[in-house]
Amino acid sequence: MRVKVKKISGDASFRKFFLTEKESKKTVIVYADKEKFKNLITYAAINSFLRKNGIKTPKTISNHYKKNFIEIEYLGSNSLVHQIQSRRNILKSYKKLIEILAKFQRIKIIKSLKYKSFKIFIQDYNVNKLHAESDLFFEWYLPYFFSRKKSNQIKRILRKELDKLYRSLNFKNKVMVHRDFHASNVMIYKNNYYLIDSQDLIIGNPLYDLVSLVDDVRVKTSLQIKNQLIKYSYKFYKKRMSYSEYLKNFHILSLQRNLKILGIFTRLFVRDGKPDYFNFMPNTWNLIALRLRNPYLKTIASLLNKFVNKKTRRIKSHHETK
C-alpha cells in the first residue's frame, strides 16, 4: 500500500512535521529527536487533557515515542491567520476565539496529569518565571549589538525596574494558560476552531493569553481593533479585577512577552539558523512602543529608549546585508 509523505512547515520548536496520505486519508507525523518528552509526550498529553475539558485539539492517532515520532489528526491548512489576512469577519473571528479562551480559563487548575505511563508536571508562572523569559532579551538580543559586559550592565538596570512591574501583577486569580495563544496556533477545520502548540501549558496570570492574541507580533491589527478586543474581553475578567488593574496587567505582560519574543527570535537566528523570524521584529518593537505609552511604564520606557535606540532596534541577518 503506497503512502505519500510530504514535509510541511513547522514552528519555532525542534519538531518537524510531515503530511502523510494513505488511501485518501491524511494524518500528520510529528517528529522530534531533541527535547522528545516535551515535544511528543507532553504535546500529546496536553492535547488530550484539553479535549477532555471541551477544548478542541488534534487527536493523537498513534504513539511511537521510542522512534521519535507520534501521529496526529490532520486539521487542514487553514489557520486563523489566513482568515484575518483575508480581512473577512476579523472582529467576529477574534471574539469567537476570546470566548474559547474564557472557556479555557474555566478549566480546573491541575499541577500534574498522567498520560499513559508518564506523569507531566504543570509549572507555576511566578515572578521568577517571568524574569527567566524576559532575560532572553538580555541574553540573546542585546549581545547581538553590545559586548557581554555592556549587555550585563544594561540588564542589571532594566531588570530592577522590570522586577517592580512583575511584582505588581495580579497573582491571586491564576488560571490555566496556553502560553502561545495567537492566530497562528488556531486551525479552522470543519467550521470549528482547534488549538495547536499547547505543550507549554502553565498556571498563571489570566491576562497572559489575551495579550498573546491581541498583541500578536505575527499579525498586524489596527489600534481600533485592539482596543475593541480589550474592552470586549473585560466582561470575562471583571469578577477577578478592576478595569484599571486589568489594563495595567495587560500592558505589563505585553511588554514582558515581547521582550521575550525579541530574545527568542534572535536566538532562532544566531543558534538555530532560522532568520525568517526577523520579519516580525519591527512589529514587535511597535507593540512594545505602544504599551510603553502608559504612565506606569514611564520609567522602563525611558530606560529602554536610552539603551536601545532606533539603530539597535533593527537587526539585519547575514542574508539581508549581502
**Predicted local distance difference test score (pLDDT) of residue 309:** 82
The per-residue DSSP string of 142-195 comes to: GGGTS-HHHHHHHHHHHHHHHHHHHHTS--SS-EEE-S--SGGGEEEETTEEEE
Confidence of residue 316 (pLDDT cuts 50, 70, 90): low
Which residue, chain included where needed, has cell 530592577?
A: 160
In sequence order, the β-bridge partners of residue 119 are 114
- What is the signed CA dihedral for 47, 49, 55, 59, rounded to 10 degrees? 40
Confidence of residue 321 (pLDDT cuts 50, 70, 90): very low
Residues 304 and 311: their CA atoms lie apart, in Å, by 13
Confidence of residue 85 (pLDDT cuts 50, 70, 90): confident
| Per-residue cell: 265 | 527570535
Is the pLDDT reported for residue 280 higher than 50? yes
**Predicted local distance difference test score (pLDDT) of residue 287:** 97
In sequence order, the β-bridge partners of residue 2 are none
Residues 120 and 112: their CA atoms lie apart, in Å, by 5
Confidence of residue 310 (pLDDT cuts 50, 70, 90): confident
Q: Are 208 and 133 in contact (CB under 8 A)?
A: no
Please write down the long-range contacts of 97-102, taking CB distance under 8 Å and 24 or more positions apart: 97/183, 97/186, 97/193, 97/213, 98/210, 98/213, 98/229, 98/232, 98/233, 98/236, 100/55, 100/193, 100/195, 101/178, 101/181, 101/209, 101/210, 101/213, 101/236, 102/236
Give, as one character, the DSSP assignment of residue 235.
G
Confidence of residue 5 (pLDDT cuts 50, 70, 90): confident
CA distances 1 to 4, 164, 315, Å, are: 10, 62, 49
The residue count of the chain comes to 322
Q: Are 47 and 40 in contact (CB under 8 A)?
A: no
Residues 237 and 233: their CA atoms lie apart, in Å, by 7
Q: What is the pLDDT of residues 18-61, one digit of tens each?
A: 999 987 789 999 999 888 898 899 999 999 999 999 999 999 99
Compute the average pLDDT of residues 72-89: 86
Q: Cα angle at 241 between 170 and 90, to 5 degrees? A: 100
Q: What is the pLDDT of residues 171-208, one digit of tens each?
A: 888 999 999 999 999 999 999 999 999 999 999 999 99
Give the chain's domains with CATH numbers: 4-73 (3.30.200.20), 124-182+197-321 (3.90.1200.10)
Is the pLDDT reported for residue 320 higher than 70? no
Q: What is the pLDDT of residues 210-232, one digit of tens each?
A: 999 999 999 999 999 999 999 99
Q: Secondary structure of the chain: what % helix, strand, coil (to 5)?
A: 50, 15, 30
Confidence of residue 165 (pLDDT cuts 50, 70, 90): very high
Backbone angles phi, psi at 54, to 5 degrees: 85, 10
**Predicted local distance difference test score (pLDDT) of residue 252:** 98
Compute the average pLDDT of residues 258-285: 92
CA distances 131 to 164, 207, 305, Å, are: 11, 17, 20
Cβ neighbour number for residue 171 with a 10 Å cutoff: 15
Is the pLDDT reported for residue 242 higher than 90? yes
Q: Are 69 and 24 in contact (CB under 8 A)?
A: no
How confident is the prediction for the chain on average, in pLDDT?
91
Is the pLDDT reported for residue 238 higher than 80? yes
